[in-house]
Structure 1
Amino acid sequence: MAKATTDPVKLPPGPRLPKLLQGAAFLTAPYTLPAMLARRYGGAVSMRMPVFGQTVVVTDPALVKDLFSTGNDLIERPTNLGRVVGPGSMWSLNGKALIERRKLLVPPFHGKRVSEYERIVEEEVMREIATWPEGQEFETLNSMMRITLNVILRTVFGAQGSELDELREVMPSSVELGSRLAMLPDVVLRDLGAWSPGGRILRYRRRIDAVTQKLMADARSDPAFDERSDILTLLLAARYEDGQPISDSHITDELVTLMAAGHETTSLSLAWAVERLRRHPNLLERLVAEVDAGGSELRQATIWEVQRTRPVVNATMRRTLQRIRLGDWVIPEGSTLLISIELAQHAPDQFTDPEAFNPDRYAEIGKLPPAWVAFGGGIYRCIGSAFATMEMDVALRTMLRELRFEPTTAPAERRHSRGTNMAPEKGGRAVVYRRSGTSLGDARTRSVSTLGDRH
């Protein structure tokens, strides 16, 4: 882990371009620029950028691991995202306050509780794929967005009826706009009128707050309160060690955070899974056989490999609270640490043939390697990782059971930035046929193994 030091500052090498040019280059190429810099300068690179200031881009898996294991007395997560979702969000908390909040938020997303939500995920997948056209190419991302949106609204908010409809309408626009604004200066979030970004975010939030207040009142008045399993109810019942509840405003901030963290990210991962599997027909064929046999190991490995090769959040940030030693470098207080998840997960000394899409690599080592950090690490690791993994597993299992995906020889879809998240440029396009129907035509008899697997 990184350690506090009084040694003289010793920053890693980096480009000498003006600050504005470095910032513009990073915004234009958030994936390719760090990769290029890592090839030239190594696993830690110094940059100077607007908003972020003195920045060290970290791609070396060993240094990434050190940062994730460093205490929050030395580094903390910047609260850029917290500005959008509210002061009561775990994205706005650091130190002791964050630790206390995590103790209340982690249990609902792990263990038996998560398995209880599998039925809801399967219901939403079945409802959505019933609308998919057969035999013609279409973009899956919008469908994945609807699936994960409905899952979260039902499992997290406990919403139904008119409240469900209202949140279905307002949440996607709010999350997408917030994602794009999160890394921009505070001035962008000011309410400068109905058409300003800050004004739009405020209007969305007022609608969300009104619905959430109604849902909380309904939950409190429900005679079966103790039997409810939605996250909203569990947060209402949660108590800190001193017996105090989470305030209603903070619960609302947390619910919006869980929506922002779990809706778009999981849907993008599912779209990437479709994009990857259509280009690896032999693997696709094996996954279908595994589903038919009732297995899951290869599917789980495939999910890990999607998240390794196409992480939706390809980087995360920390800020130094003190001068620290990180490897060979001494980084001053107030510096931004930009941790490249994607490049750490492509390190050739950690992953054999890292550019290849190969789920079998996990069977060879029997576990996830330490350099696999798709959900982050340390105190800031995503609390919904088990929920997201379950959701992807059930969604893929259901789609593979019900549908036959037609392979493709088309080039891989490029990464497209949606603010803080990376999407397949063409939306994870697919061609499907019903496995149980009679309309599969010639495509059903076509052997997927006649196509060569592609990276």
Structure 2
Amino acid sequence: MIQSQAKLPDGFQSPRWLQKIQWINNSLAYMDVAGQKYGDIFNAPVIGNYRQLLLVSHPQALQQIFSNPHHFIAPSNPLLHPIVGDYSVFVLEGDRHRKERKLLMPPFHGEQMLSNGQLICELTEKVMQSLHPGEVFVARDLMQNVSLEVILTVVFGLHKGERFRQLKDCIVSLLSEFKSPLTSGLLFFPALQKDLGRWSPWGSFLRKQQQINQLLVAEIRDRRQQYDSSRSDILSLLLEARDEDGAPMTDEQLRDELMTLLLAGHETTATAIAWALYWVHRFPNVHSQLLQELDSLGNTPTPIEISRLPYLTAVCNESLRIYPVAILTTPRAVKEPVELMGYQLEPGTKVYGCIYLTHHRPDLYPEPKQFKPERFLQRQFSPYEFLPFGGGVRRCIGEALALFEMKLVLATIISRYELTLVQQEPERPKRRGVTFSPHTGVRMIMQGRRSV
């Protein structure tokens, strides 16, 4: 790519603590300025205590990072460890990570995933019917109701009952802890993760986390005692799983994996759908073209037919491109000395793929700040050019289900309801934990059912 250089990539010279605060407060602005100043690779010591933490946005470099396990290993994600626990697929490494990932994959693909299609449409309709004409609502909160019910059904096979209700309430309450940049900042400053009582930010988080843990362990133990081999939800499949020595997963292992799937499996999807609703209703031409495509399927399309629509797919992809829910991939650590983009990297150097900057490269996406779904109809992007779900061995296992759900929820709402945006000014992203969601949540007005 570039002639070899001895020096390491440049980056801002301000103190690390100040850069961390800038990152927490406005990561996108930090990356925009750094990308313009330093290019495709730069030093950004904003996570952990690393002096050399590189952000990379060049597709060729990303391909080298994701496909070269000899030089780049995929360690655990330190930011998520306090949330998901010691046994989550997010924090496992090496063979343990590979084996755990293999166990978790099947329910998110193939027939198992497709069988949830009608359920997703029905849950969307149920939630939308709770709104009255003229009512103002926050799209992200509403979509969280849908996605949480979907993931509870997929993970547990639960869609009613007291424990189902308690889990829903507790998860929403836990995630609300990370609405503000201040609380989110605790994930970036481990020294501030102190339990100073139930009214302190971290103390409040820990108590809500414990409530969910108790509910999960109770469900695990009940299911062990009343095991039903005919069930096909994720918990049932994990209860059947055995390691190479024939041992089942412990309650603690199951709890951490379930916590991971519950939090990662609905929070991000709800945000992605809210962004899509915003973009579709901000641009009338996008709305009309999408509606025309949906109407072409007739009155009773199947979930599979909906999911294969090209313009709907392009709208979803462009929503995930312009403001990806996760702005970085999971980290890689340099295992042996390696050259990357002309720089010589030493063992221990941490490298993150910068999803946001890759998605905003003018050479890949002309006018990158503009919402243009047609760009996904005009060309096919590689996994190193469009990567909203990360890449390599740490790529999100729920990608297929998330996209399937996003398309079905958006199609159900657009084809059956007339909505308008409340705000006229552009929506902007805001930190929510380690992800980014619409600042206002996308406030909309229910105008009524669409007359067909």
Smaller-chain TM-score bracket: 0.7 to 0.9
The DSSP-based 3-state class of the residue aligned with 1:147 is: helix
The counterpart of 1:291, out of the listed 282, 285, 294, is: 294
- Is the aligned partner of 1:59 residue 2:73? no
- Is the aligned partner of 1:302 residue 2:300? no
**More deviation in 423-432 or 129-138?**
129-138
Identify if the C-alpha distance between structure 1 residues 207 and 18 changes in structure 2 by more than 3 Å, giving closer, same or farther: closer
The DSSP-based 3-state class of the residue aligned with 1:156 is: helix
Distance in 2 between the 1:182 and 1:229 partners?
37
> TM-score if structure 1 supplies the norm length?
0.87
- Is the aligned partner of 1:18 residue 2:15? yes
Residues 14-413 of structure 1 mapped to structure 2, 5 A cutoff: 14-49=11-46, 51-54=48-51, 55-71=53-69, 74-77=72-75, 78-135=77-134, 137-159=136-158, 160-177=160-177, 180=184, 183-222=187-226, 225-294=228-297, 296-322=309-335, 323-366=337-380, 370-406=384-420, 410-413=424-427
Distance in 2 between the 1:253 and 1:423 partners?
25
Distance in 1 between the 2:121 and 2:129 partners?
12
- Please report how far the alpha carbon of residue 265 of structure 1 lies from its aligned counterpart in structure 2 after TM superposition: 0.5
**More deviation in 380-389 or 246-255?**
246-255
**More deviation in 402-411 or 95-104?**
402-411
Amino acid across the alignment from 1:247: T
- Is the aligned partner of 1:416 residue 2:415? no
The DSSP-based 3-state class of the residue aligned with 1:371 is: coil
Distance in 1 between the 2:255 and 2:266 partners?
16
Identify if the C-alpha distance between structure 1 residues 435 and 326 changes in structure 2 by more than 3 Å, giving closer, same or farther: same
Amino acid across the alignment from 1:175: L
Identify if the C-alpha distance between structure 1 residues 256 and 301 changes in structure 2 by more than 3 Å, giving closer, same or farther: same
Residues 289-345 of structure 1 show CA distances to partners (whole Å, capped at 9, x for unaligned) of 222222522111211111111111112341524343211112233333233201101
The DSSP-based 3-state class of the residue aligned with 2:329 is: strand
Amino acid across the alignment from 1:303: C
Cα contact 2:60–2:384 (8 A) shared by 1: no
Cα contact 2:134–2:446 (8 A) shared by 1: yes
- Please report how far the alpha carbon of residue 256 of structure 1 lies from its aligned counterpart in structure 2 after TM superposition: 0.5
- Please report how far the alpha carbon of residue 72 of structure 1 lies from its aligned counterpart in structure 2 after TM superposition: 7.0
Identify if the C-alpha distance between structure 1 residues 181 and 232 changes in structure 2 by more than 3 Å, giving closer, same or farther: farther
Cα contact 2:419–2:448 (8 A) shared by 1: no
Any gaps of 5 or more consecutive residues in structure 2?
Answer: 298-305
- Please report how far the alpha carbon of residue 41 of structure 1 lies from its aligned counterpart in structure 2 after TM superposition: 1.3
- Tell me which residue corresponds to 1:430: 444
Cα contact 1:350–1:371 (8 A) shared by 2: yes
**More deviation in 81-90 or 360-369?**
360-369
Distance in 1 between the 2:390 and 2:428 partners?
23
- Please report how far the alpha carbon of residue 263 of structure 1 lies from its aligned counterpart in structure 2 after TM superposition: 1.5
Any gaps of 5 or more consecutive residues in structure 1?
Answer: 2-6, 438-443, 445-455
Distance in 2 between the 1:204 and 1:366 partners?
43
| Matched residue count | 432
Identify if the C-alpha distance between structure 1 residues 276 and 49 changes in structure 2 by more than 3 Å, giving closer, same or farther: closer
Distance in 2 between the 1:176 and 1:368 partners?
35
- Please report how far the alpha carbon of residue 366 of structure 1 lies from its aligned counterpart in structure 2 after TM superposition: 4.8
The DSSP-based 3-state class of the residue aligned with 2:366 is: coil
RMSD of the alignment, in Å?
Answer: 2.6
- Please report how far the alpha carbon of residue 173 of structure 1 lies from its aligned counterpart in structure 2 after TM superposition: 2.2
Identify if the C-alpha distance between structure 1 residues 215 and 48 changes in structure 2 by more than 3 Å, giving closer, same or farther: closer
Name the % identity: 31
**More deviation in 362-371 or 175-184?**
175-184
Cα contact 2:327–2:354 (8 A) shared by 1: yes
Identify if the C-alpha distance between structure 1 residues 226 and 172 changes in structure 2 by more than 3 Å, giving closer, same or farther: same
Cα contact 1:279–1:409 (8 A) shared by 2: no
- Tell me which residue corresponds to 1:447: none
Distance in 2 between the 1:129 and 1:164 partners?
20
Amino acid across the alignment from 2:56: V
Residues 421-455 of structure 1 show CA distances to partners (whole Å, capped at 9, x for unaligned) of 11111211223333346xxxxxx9xxxxxxxxxxx
Distance in 2 between the 1:28 and 1:181 partners?
8
Cα contact 1:278–1:408 (8 A) shared by 2: no
The DSSP-based 3-state class of the residue aligned with 1:212 is: helix
Distance in 1 between the 2:202 and 2:135 partners?
40
Cα contact 2:330–2:352 (8 A) shared by 1: yes
Cα contact 1:79–1:92 (8 A) shared by 2: yes
- Tell me which residue corresponds to 2:301: none
Distance in 2 between the 1:26 and 1:198 partners?
20
Cα contact 2:174–2:205 (8 A) shared by 1: yes
